[in-house]
A and B are shown apart, each in its own frame.
Chain A
Amino acid sequence: DAEITQSPRHKITETGRQVTLACHQTWNHNNMFWYRQDLGHGLRLIHYSYGVQDTNKGEVSDGYSVSRSNTEDLPLTLESAASSQTSVYFCASSALSLGGSDTQYFGPGTRLTVL
């Protein structure tokens, strides 16, 4: 069965360190998204991609970067982790259908703690 996986599921790091969260999907979806979930804010979009070599900033992109070298993966990098980036991170993917309806499928999430 097609799925979307995230690793690690839990991560503790220190302020200032570089951290990369992995997202891998086997749906062969062109669109991939990264969100962070915080109490009182719901899910907020960090970065997204419509295909290989395409990346776009979301509403809370400062301090994060992504790269898309293939269809299956969209790793999220925190260049220099800050305590404000302690959160739960979700990856999602959807089929290509710009201008039409679409459904995003979510991974299980990564809980990141920055000390």
Chain B
Amino acid sequence: AQSVTQPDIHITVSEGASLELRCNYSYGATPYLFWYVQSPGQGLQLLLKYFSGDTLVQGIKGFEAEFKRSQSSFNLRKPSVHWSDAAEYFCAVQSGATNKLIFGTGTLLAVQP
């Protein structure tokens, strides 16, 4: 069965520091992978997605993610975090056959001044 694991429930980083949010997936075929961000009281906004090709994917707001098939991972990174990046981040895997998304439980990011 497909599943997504985000091992870190809560992360705190200092403004200006680098960030890496972990995501591991379980899926039999080549996965379609997504990162969404949710600001407090808001809906989900797509940060980036991986369908095929280059394993390093660039997204909005300076985020990037790297697909590593050997590790079943799709970690999200940002070189320098801004206070406005404080939000909850969700990794998701999609079945190409059904278009259904399976979400991880999310990682809540806090940014210290």
Check A107–B43 contact: CB distance below 8 A: yes
> CB-nearest residue of chain B relative to A102?
B99
Looking at the assembled complex, report how far the CB atom of A54 sits from the nearest CB atom of chain B, in whole angstroms: 12
Task: Bin the interface of chain B by size.
Answer: 20 to 34
* Distance between Cα atoms of A43 and B105 in the complex (Å): 7
* B56 CB-CB contact with A under 8 Å: no
Q: State the CA gap A109–B41 with chains docked (Å).
A: 8
Q: Are A106 and B97 in contact (CB under 8 A)?
A: no
Say yes or no: B96 contacts A100, CB within 8 Å.
yes
What is B's interface to A at a CB cutoff of 8 Å?
A: 32, 34, 36, 42-46, 49, 51-52, 90, 94, 96-101, 103-106
Residues of B within 8 A of A50 (CB): 99
- Asked if B99 and A97 sit within 8 Å, CB to CB, the answer is yes
A13 to chain B, nearest CB (A): 20
Q: Give how many A residues have a beta carbon under 8 Å from the other chain's beta carbons.
A: 28
Residues of A within 8 A of B103 (CB): 35, 42-44
A98 interface neighbour in B99, B101, B105, Cβ under 8 Å: B99
Docked complex: A9-68 residues within 8 A CB-CB of B: 31, 33, 35, 40-45, 48, 50, 58
C-alpha spacing A94/B32, complex, angstroms: 14
One of B36, B44, B52, B99 near A94 (C-beta < 8 A): B99
Q: Which of A33, A48, A98, A103 has the largest count of B CB atoms less than 10 A from its CB?
A: A103
- A8 in the interface, Cβ–Cβ < 8 Å? no
Pick the contact of A103 from B46, B97, B105 — CB < 8 Å? B46
Q: Which of B32, B42, B90, B99 contacts A43 (CB 8 A)?
A: B90
Bound state CA distance, A64 and B11, in angstroms? 34
Given contacts A100-B96, A101-B32, contact A45 B43 (CB under 8 A): no
Cβ–Cβ contact A102 & B94, under 8 A? yes
How far in angstroms is the closest Cβ of chain B from A66? 15
- Is B49's CB under 8 angstroms from A103's CB? yes
User: When the two chains form the complex, which single residue of A31, A100, A101, A108 contacts B43, counting CB atoms closer than 8 Å?
Assistant: A108
Asked if B42 contacts A108 (CB within 8 A), the reply is yes
